[in-house]
């Protein structure tokens, strides 16, 4: 099955990511530890056949690939351990706030062994800006202890092993598998769930059922990048409260067109991050993002008014 998320999506305040990772999302290989989704048909728009739904969904994905050729995970990480911990910390907060917090955390505790032996009070103080810091401290120290004791200090590359770690659910596991190990997964965060329902790809609200339904519409090789593109679109244009319909490049394919601002000039004022000319969420974004005009986020304590505005209301 694909994955569940909230980057924007949150599992409980216990989320994770792992060690030995590449900085950029790896291309999904043919083989995957992810199980194919169950065969429950996704619900199409009224009067739309199953075949038409699949075609429309795949066309939306192709259009998003042109709009966001630089789509990427918006958490800063240098290896799978950092990604695992950052994903856990991203529950109920923005990726920007996590990215501003983790440099000090990883400087103090660069390995699972270091974090497993850490003083909880010290860790709580370091991650306090991310919220739910006591629960998150238990999770990241717990998963680090498990990595040290059960996996030789390495982040496992299998779904069945990742979900055994404290604070790691399917969403977190697939973030790590897709971006640190190149194994396909669908990340059903709040943005992803909102958009696929607006697009009538499914009417499901349970993340596991959304994962299954959407996974049926696409080949596994598309799952990881599909997740990045949909989440990018949800954060930048198709917002929860007031989507910028008049500035949306896939408006002709969207059954929910008109739920938001349709006037092009007014809609453009609603755009966030690089689409609105503001900084992104990563302090160290990929080269492709910078080349496309994206701006790096400021470090903790140096956020500009415009940068802070882009992050507000954009959890994960």
Catalytic residue set: 171, 189
- Which parts of the chain fold into alpha helices (H)? 50-67, 80-89, 95-108, 112-116, 120-127, 133-150, 159-162, 170-180, 190-198, 207-215, 223-236, 264-268, 287-291, 305-311
How far CA 45 is from CA of 86, 251, 255, 269, 271, in Å, comes to 36, 15, 7, 30, 27
Per-residue buried b or exposed e for 1-40, using 16+ beta carbons within 10 Å of the residue's own CB: bbbbbbbbbbbebbbbbbbebebebbebeeebbbeebeee
Measured distance CA(97)–CA(316) in Å, rounded = 9
Measured distance CA(140)–CA(86) in Å, rounded = 9
Q: Which of 196, 252, 253, 308 is nearest to 56 (CA)?
A: 253
Secondary structure of residue 295 in the 3-state scheme: strand
Q: What is the DSSP string of 45-98?
A: STT--HHHHHHHHHHHHHHHHHH-TT---SS--SSHHHHHHHHHHTTTS-HHHH
What are the two backbone dihedrals, phi and then psi, of residue 68, each rounded to the nearest 5 degrees?
Answer: -125, 65
Measured distance CA(142)–CA(195) in Å, rounded = 34
In this structure, are residues 184 and 178 in contact, taking their beta carbons and an 8 Å threshold?
A: yes
Measured distance CA(157)–CA(161) in Å, rounded = 8
């Amino acid at each position: 099955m694909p994955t569940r998320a909230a980057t924007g999506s949150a599992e409980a305040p216990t989320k994770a990511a792992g060690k030995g990772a590449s900085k950029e999302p790896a291309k999904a290989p043919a083989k995957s530890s992810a199980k194919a989704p169950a065969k429950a048909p996704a619900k199409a728009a009224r009067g739309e056949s199953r075949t038409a739904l699949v075609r429309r969904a795949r066309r939306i994905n192709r259009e998003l690939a042109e709009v966001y050729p630089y789509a990427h995970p918006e958490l800063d990480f240098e290896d799978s351990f950092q990604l695992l911990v950052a994903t856990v910390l991203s529950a109920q907060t923005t990726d920007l706030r996590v990215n501003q917090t983790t440099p000090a955390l990883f400087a103090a505790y660069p390995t699972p062994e270091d974090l497993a032996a850490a003083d909880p009070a010290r860790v709580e103080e370091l991650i306090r800006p991310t919220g739910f810091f006591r629960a998150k401290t238990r999770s990241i120290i717990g998963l680090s202890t498990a990595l040290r004791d059960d996996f030789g200090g390495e982040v496992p590359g299998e779904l069945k092993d990742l979900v055994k770690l404290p604070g790691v659910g399917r969403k977190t596991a697939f973030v790590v598998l897709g971006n640190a190990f190149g194994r396909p997964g669908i990340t059903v965060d709040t943005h992803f769930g909102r958009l696929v329902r607006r697009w009538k790809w499914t009417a499901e609200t349970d993340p596991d059922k959304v994962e299954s339904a959407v996974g049926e519409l696409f080949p596994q090789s598309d799952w990881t990048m599909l997740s990045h593109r949909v989440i990018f679109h949800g954060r930048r244009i198709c917002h929860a409260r007031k989507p910028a319909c008049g500035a949306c490049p896939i408006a002709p394919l969207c059954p929910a067109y008109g739920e938001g601002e349709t006037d092009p000039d007014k809609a453009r004022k609603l755009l966030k991050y690089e689409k609105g000319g503001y900084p992104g969420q990563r302090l160290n974004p990929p080269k492709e993002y910078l080349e496309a005009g994206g701006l790096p986020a400021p470090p903790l304590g140096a956020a500009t008014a415009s940068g802070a505005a882009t992050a507000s209301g954009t959890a994960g």
